[in-house]
Amino acid sequence: MHPRFFLRTVRDVYVRFGWVAAAKFLLEGMLNLFMFFDCLHIIVLERTALKPLDSLASRRFDSRIATETELNNMSTDPRWEIGDTKLGFFRMGDLCVLSFVDGQPAGYTWVHTNGRPELIPGLTISIPEEYVYNYAGLTLPDFRGAGLQSYRHHSVLDHERWKNRRALLGYVKATNFASRKGQFKSGYKKVGTLWLLGTRRHFIAIPSSSLVKMGVRRLFSKHEECEATIA
């Protein structure tokens, strides 16, 4: 990031979120001049903390799991932000839950299905069986403000595939203050932190004790294990 743009971003963070947030953003940026450093908060939305749905509004909503044909068609429309990465996740078993308003496709959320999602390139973690890892939620501009985010939370946890799970699980960067504010407003709570240290290609992941107790840990493929041994 160009220094001028970085300092402008620090100023914007200060204006929107205060000096403590700006200091954290500045410190992270300075550390990344010399090494790769990141801090990820693992967040959970318990079923019991789901916000009640407005009965009138929810009658306009519907949801279902997308087919591969639908995803391929949607990938040709840039509004949907579906590229090779998401299509690759679909072929590996992840599912896209589509949301509809008055019968019109309005957004989606993606759900990981095999208990070992890749949060960022090179970082795969284990997910306890009682949680559902969902990610990449999107609402088309015409439907923002309709309450779809809360509806998506319900539609995932109430789905036949996940009705026995206790909560949704996700993550948010510690310095993404806007996303943190939105997630916590939705009812998510931080349950632990992952600190990443090293280089972009080779880094260690240090979990907080709360994540260790939950059973959240870093996983390696055989190829990654070999690279780590060589390094």
- Domain ranges in the chain? 1-34, 35-230
pLDDT at 221 (0 to 100): 64
Beta strand segments in the chain, E: 36-46, 61-65, 95-101, 104-111, 118-120, 123-125, 131-139, 167-173, 189-198, 203-207, 218-219
pLDDT at 224 (0 to 100): 53
pLDDT digit string (tens) for 47-93?
999 988 877 677 889 999 999 999 999 999 999 999 999 999 999 99
pLDDT at 228 (0 to 100): 46
pLDDT at 5 (0 to 100): 77
Longest dimension (CA), the chain: 59
With a CB cutoff of 8 Å and minimum separation 6, the contacts of 56 are: none
pLDDT digit string (tens) for 24-33?
999 999 999 9
Are 185 and 134 in contact, with CB atoms under 8 Å apart?
Answer: no
For residue 79, the number of C-alpha atoms closer than 13 Å in the C-beta half-sphere is 12
Are 176 and 26 in contact, with CB atoms under 8 Å apart?
Answer: no
Q: What is the DSSP letter of 123?
A: E
pLDDT at 226 (0 to 100): 43
Instruction: Please provide the CATH number assigned to the domain covering 35-230.
Output: 3.40.630.30
pLDDT at 1 (0 to 100): 59
**How far is the C-alpha of 148 from the C-alpha of 187, rounded, in Å?**
14
Closest by CA to 87, choosing from 102, 76, 99, 79, is: 76
The pTM of the full predicted model, rounded to 2 decimals, is: 0.88
pLDDT at 229 (0 to 100): 39
* Positions of the chain with pLDDT under 50: 223, 225-231
Are 96 and 90 in contact, with CB atoms under 8 Å apart?
Answer: yes
